[in-house]
Amino acid sequence: MSKIPFPAPPADSDAVIALRSEFRAFLNAQLADRNARQRSDNWYGYDRAFSRAMGQAGYLGMTWPKQYGGHERSAFERAVVVEECLAAGAPVGAHWIADRQSGPSIIKFGTEPQKQAILPGIAAGELSFGIGMSEPDSGSDLAATRTKAVRDGDVYRVTGTKVWTSFAHEADYVILFCRTQGTPADRHKGTSQLLINLKETPGLTIKPIIDQAGQHHFNEMHFEDAVVPAQMLLGEEGQGWDQVMSELAFERSGPERFLSSIELLLQLVEVLKGRDSDAAQITLGRVTARLAVLRRLSRSVAGMLQNKQDAGLQAAIVKDVGALFEQGLPDIARELVDCEADPRAAGAYSAVLANIVHNAPSWSLRGGTREILRGIIARGLGTR
């Protein structure tokens, strides 16, 4: 395909095949007590003990240099661990952001002391990160950021508000996207990134934002003349926009963009057992085909990233098509099985369906809305 190539991912190496079976055994042992409803939290499950176990077993920071606690394995080996975690409904929330994007950003832009202070902690499953991008007046329009960091001797003084920060009430750090020069009218110019220690920043208050499912993932972070040491600047002052775009590229093409409702699909297979009508077979066949093809597209992007190719456009396509798939599963299930979903049900199917229906709307919002992604794809096609 000439316009938007998705090169064939390489066949699984022996190392990848061995890793998959070794890691499935690890997950089986770790998750024996986790019920279907808990598994359906997918990457919103948060469990420090599980993340530490992942770190101790060498499954975090997998592609990073050994000198920072990493394991120098391939992007494909990491992809195996990531997709197996999601398919099994492992509670990956305590390391997810750090392992996926914050750590790689620090490797790319951080100072040597920052790398030494933070990366080994992430790889050990000890340090947890959140994302500090969106604001009340700048969601999709990230360049309109208002949060201001003013240099004052050895510190920055930070004032502003960030929202939708998943697990800010639990995590240790966020990478804050903010303005060090000018005003929101300057758009992407004058923006920077700061590493914020959530536990030790005077002037920072964190308040919960409860979502429509009644769950507390999101938070509001309010900075009121908060004091941040100048050595916590990530990368260069004024280069925040390029850095944050690079961070987003780590965020968009992974299997979390189509596996969010996988537990519902597994429970559907369970419920249909023994009563597999023609309709059930046909529907499961079509769903499985979509899933297999999405997985291939995502693996293709992993291959491009491994080869240091720019895959921003491909990643946007995977996320757009992937969100439609994972959001479509509740209605597909409802066409096959009658069930009044109940968020507090004891039965697995009803409780999982409830959790998925409640959370699905967020999947085409987080990480770039459907509308933003389609704009990126259209621009990639040369329309503007």
Partner 1 sequence: MLAEMIQRLFERQLTDAAQARARAGEWLPDLWAEVTEMGLPLALLSEDEGGFGLSPAEAGEALRQLGLFAVPLPLAETMGANRLLAKAGLPLADGPAGLARADHLTVQDGRLQGEVARVAWGEQLDCLAVAVGDQLYRVPRSGWRVSEPGTALNFHPRPSLAIDWEIEASAPLPHCPLAEGSTLRAFQIAGALEAALDMTLDHTATRVQFGKPLQKNQVVQHELAKLAGELACATAAADLAAEALARGEVLGVAAGSLRAREAAGAGAAIAGQMHGAIGFTREHRLHLYTTSLWTWRDEFGGQVAWAKLLGKAALGAGSAGYWPMVTDL
Active centre residues (catalytic): 251
Give the range of 71-79, 150-158, 162-170, 278-286 binding partner 1 by CB under 8 A: 278-286
Q: Which two tokens stand for residue 68?
A: 């920072």
Give the range of 107-115, 128-136, 296-304, 360-368 binding partner 1 by CB under 8 A: 296-304
352 binds partner 1 (CB under 8 A): no
Distance CA 290, CA 250 (A): 23
18 binds partner 1 (CB under 8 A): no
Q: Could you please report the per-residue DSSP string of 172-229?
A: SEEEEEEESSS-GGGTTTTEEEEEEETTS-TTEEEEEE--TTS---EEEEEEEEEEEE
Distance CA 151, CA 347 (A): 55
Using CA atoms, how far residue 224 sits from 37, 157, 180, 206, 221, in Å, is 39, 8, 15, 11, 10
Handedness of CA 216, 221, 222, 228 (dihedral sign): positive
197 binds partner 1 (CB under 8 A): no
State the binding string over 25-64 for partner 1 (x if CB under 8 A, else -): ----------------------------------------
Question: Between 281 and 309, whose beta carbon lies closer to partner 1?
Answer: 281
283 binds partner 1 (CB under 8 A): yes
Work out the angle at residue 262's Cα, subtended by the Cα atoms of residues 261 and 266, and round it to the nearest 5 degrees: 125
- DSSP class of residue 10 equals P
Question: Between 43 and 129, whose beta carbon lies closer to partner 1?
Answer: 43
6 binds partner 1 (CB under 8 A): yes
- DSSP class of residue 98 equals I
Question: Between 16 and 107, whose beta carbon lies closer to partner 1?
Answer: 16
329 binds partner 1 (CB under 8 A): no
Cβ atoms within 10 Å, residue 122:
28
Neighbour-count burial of 183, counting CB atoms closer than 10 A to its CB (0-12 exposed, 13-18 middle, 19+ buried):
exposed
344 binds partner 1 (CB under 8 A): no
292 binds partner 1 (CB under 8 A): yes
List residues bridging with 233 in a β-sheet: 194
Question: Between 57 and 321, whose beta carbon lies closer to partner 1?
Answer: 321
Question: Between 77 and 320, whose beta carbon lies closer to partner 1?
Answer: 320
Phi, psi of 219, deg, nearest 5: -145, 160
Handedness of CA 214, 357, 254, 62 (dihedral sign): positive
Q: Whole-number minimum distance, CB 64 to partner 1, in Å?
A: 25
Cβ atoms within 10 Å, residue 305:
20
94 binds partner 1 (CB under 8 A): no
206 binds partner 1 (CB under 8 A): no
Q: Could you please report the per-residue DSSP string of 130-178?
A: EEE--BTTBSS-GGG---EEEEETTEEEEEEEE---TTTTT-SEEEEEE
20 binds partner 1 (CB under 8 A): yes
Question: Between 166 and 267, whose beta carbon lies closer to partner 1?
Answer: 267
Question: Which residues ranging from 248 to 277 are in contact with partner 1 (CB under 8 A)?
Answer: 262, 265-267, 269-270, 272-273, 276
> Which one of 58, 238, 343, 375 is in contact with partner 1 (CB under 8 A)?
375
Distance CA 9, CA 22 (A): 22
> Which one of 79, 204, 357, 373 is in contact with partner 1 (CB under 8 A)?
373
321 binds partner 1 (CB under 8 A): yes
289 binds partner 1 (CB under 8 A): yes
Q: Which two tokens stand for residue 10?
A: 């390489």
> Which one of 65, 286, 334, 342 is in contact with partner 1 (CB under 8 A)?
286
- DSSP class of residue 213 equals T
Q: Whole-number minimum distance, CB 288 to partner 1, in Å?
A: 5
Question: Between 16 and 150, whose beta carbon lies closer to partner 1?
Answer: 16
381 binds partner 1 (CB under 8 A): yes
Q: Which residues bind partner 1 (CB under 8 A)?
A: 1-4, 6-8, 20, 24, 83, 87-88, 262, 265-267, 269-270, 272-273, 276, 278, 280-297, 300, 314, 317, 320-321, 371, 373-375, 377-378, 380-384
